[in-house]
Structure 1
Amino acid sequence: MKNKKLEANISMVVGKTFSGLNMNALKYLLPFWLSPLLGATLRCVFAAVAFWIIGLFMKKEPASSKDKVMLFLLGAIGIYGFMFLYLIGLSKTTPVSSSIFTSLQPIWVFVIMVLFYREKVTFMKILGIAVGLGGALLCILTQKSDDLAADAFNGNMLCLASSVFYAVYLVLSKRVLMSVDMITMLRYTFTGAAFSSLIILPFYGFEARLFSDAFQWWPFVVLMFVLIFPTVLTYFLVPVGLEYLSTTLVAIYGYLILIVATITSLLLGQDRFSWMQTTAILLICFGVYLVEIAEGKEKKAANLS
């Protein structure tokens, strides 16, 4: 089990590092080279095809029709909802701001657990949620639109909503993984996400200078990086973490996204240093820390009893 937990932690480090770089790569592509909705469609369809091909070479356990339908709906609503909102939001704000809201996922996971799974509520957890949400509000209310963030307020709100969708995906996929294998989960969730994306795309049109203008290597290389590494590889690694680590710990690895995206954004000039952003980051990190400390104490007390 120790080796499995080490493998799970390594998987999360690699996956979340690519997720951090994904924010910078997508910011480069959106909306100049392709529209956010087309970007979401390309990611969902590419991943669905990739996971069905990978599944041909992996051992699969039988899954019930009920589980398959559940996975399809989880992908159609959870994964696509996350990508739909996140890519539109990122096109309007900066990678650092969008990653700030990704860091809220552990708080949303806890809120979902309280509302639907009777998670115990304590003063420290409530304080942690309040502090974390205070950091999010600070970012939303103080960031102004500029040349790097065309519509900062709406972009941040969309990224905030996307983090809720991803938290729902984490909670539900953790439970589905108890009865199905990893590749089955990925096959059907991304099939559902691809289905939603192909249904919605025609209403908004196929907008992509990457494919309509004269061919250029660099945007194409960046797109292939997004499709292969942050999409297929990262989502392939997340279930490994979900199987052997707690849902909240998996969500906490979102901090790595924040670190990678912040450093890369400043180096590439995709964001500027801001004391307000820094304060928001610290508040969210401290809020999640309080929630985690409270959960750790509860587990320790339960083990002693």
Structure 2
Amino acid sequence: MKNKITEANVSMVISKTFSGLNMNALKYLLPLWMTPLSGVTIRCTFAAVAFWIIGMFTKPETSTRKEKISLFLLGALGIYGFMFFYLIGLSKTTPVSSSIFTSLEPIWVFILAVIFFKEKITKMKVIGILIGLGGALLCILTQKSDDLAADAFTGNMLCLMSSFAYAAYLIISNRILSKVGVITMLRYTFTGAAFSALIVSTVTGFDARVLELPLHWTPFLILMFILIFPTVISYLLIPIGLKYLSTTLVALYGYLILIVATIVSLTLGQDRFSWTQLVAILLICSSVYFVEIAENKEKK
């Protein structure tokens, strides 16, 4: 079991590192080389096809019809909802700001656990939540729109919604994983996400210059990186973490996204250093620390 936990932790480190680079790669492509909704359609459809192909070469997994329908709906609403808000938000704000809201996932996980699973509320946890929400509010209200963030307020609000949607996905998928295999979960959730994406693209239209001929190799290779590493490989690794680690700990690994996205963004000029962003980051990191300390005290 100890080896499994180590494997789960390593899986989360790799997965979240790819997710951090994903923010910078997507920021390069959006909206010049593809629209946000077209980007969601490409990612969800590619992942669904990839996981069905991978499933053909893995050990068969058993699942009931009810479980498959639940997974399909989880993907159609949870994964698609997360990517929908995330890509539109990222196209309007900066990678650092979007990663700040990703770091709120442990807070949302706890709040949802309180509402639906009667998690115990303590003074320490309430303080942590208030500090975290204060950090998010600081980022939302102080960041101004500029050449790097076309509509910072709207983008930040959408990224906030995406972090909430992903937290809900983490909680539900964590419970379903106790009954079904990893590949089964990925096949049906991404099939559901692709279904929603294709319906939306049918209504709104599909616009992805990155796929037009003749190919522009730099954006095309960046897209391939996004599809293979942050999408397929990253999502293959997440269920390993969910199976052997607590949901809160998995969400805590979201801080790696923040670290990677911040370093790469400042290096590539996709964001500028901001004291308010730094304060927001420190507040959110402190908030999760409070929640975790309170949880650990209760366990002891």
| TM-score, normalised by the number of residues in structure 2 | 0.99
**Which digits, 9 at most, give the CA deviation of each residue in 1:114-171, with x for residues without a partner?**
0000000000000000000000000000000000000000000000000010000000
Q: Is the 8 A contact 1:41 1:194 kept in 2?
A: yes
Between the aligned partners of 1:61 and 1:299, the Cα distance in structure 2 is 34
Between the aligned partners of 1:90 and 1:254, the Cα distance in structure 2 is 16
State the partner residue of 2:197.
Answer: 197
1:218 matched to 2:192 = no
State the partner residue of 1:269.
Answer: 269
Give the AA of the match of 2:26. L
Task: Indicate how the Cα distance of structure 1 residues 61 and 211 shifts in structure 2: closer, same or farther if over 3 A, else same.
Answer: closer
Alignment of 1:33-52 (within 5 A): 33-52=33-52
SS at match of 2:68: helix
State the partner residue of 2:291.
Answer: 291
Q: Is the 8 A contact 2:211 2:220 kept in 1?
A: no
Between the aligned partners of 1:147 and 1:250, the Cα distance in structure 2 is 34
Give the AA of the match of 1:253. Y
Q: Is the 8 A contact 2:18 2:234 kept in 1?
A: yes
Alignment of 1:1-305 (within 5 A): 1-212=1-212, 214-300=214-300
CA drift of 1:211 comes to 3.0
Between the aligned partners of 1:104 and 1:81, the Cα distance in structure 2 is 17
Q: Is the 8 A contact 2:16 2:254 kept in 1?
A: yes
Between the aligned partners of 1:18 and 1:254, the Cα distance in structure 2 is 11
Give the AA of the match of 2:68. K
| TM-score, normalised by the number of residues in structure 1 | 0.97
Kindly, what percent of the aligned residue pairs are identical? 72
Give the AA of the match of 2:198. L
Between the aligned partners of 2:198 and 2:89, the Cα distance in structure 1 is 20
CA drift of 1:213 comes to 6.2
Between the aligned partners of 2:22 and 2:60, the Cα distance in structure 1 is 30
State the partner residue of 1:303.
Answer: none
Give the AA of the match of 1:11. S
Between the aligned partners of 1:187 and 1:209, the Cα distance in structure 2 is 28
**Which digits, 9 at most, give the CA deviation of each residue in 1:231-278, with x for residues without a partner?**
000000000000000000000000000000000000000000000000
**Which digits, 9 at most, give the CA deviation of each residue in 1:177-234, with x for residues without a partner?**
0100110000000000000000101221111222346421100000000000000000
Q: Is the 8 A contact 2:27 2:95 kept in 1?
A: yes
Give the AA of the match of 2:236. F
For structure 2, the residue ranges without an aligned partner over 5 or more in a row are none
**Which digits, 9 at most, give the CA deviation of each residue in 1:72-117, with x for residues without a partner?**
0000000000000100000000000000000000000000000000
For structure 1, the residue ranges without an aligned partner over 5 or more in a row are 301-305
CA drift of 1:298 comes to 1.1
SS at match of 2:28: helix
Q: Is the 8 A contact 2:39 2:208 kept in 1?
A: no
Between the aligned partners of 2:20 and 2:224, the Cα distance in structure 1 is 16
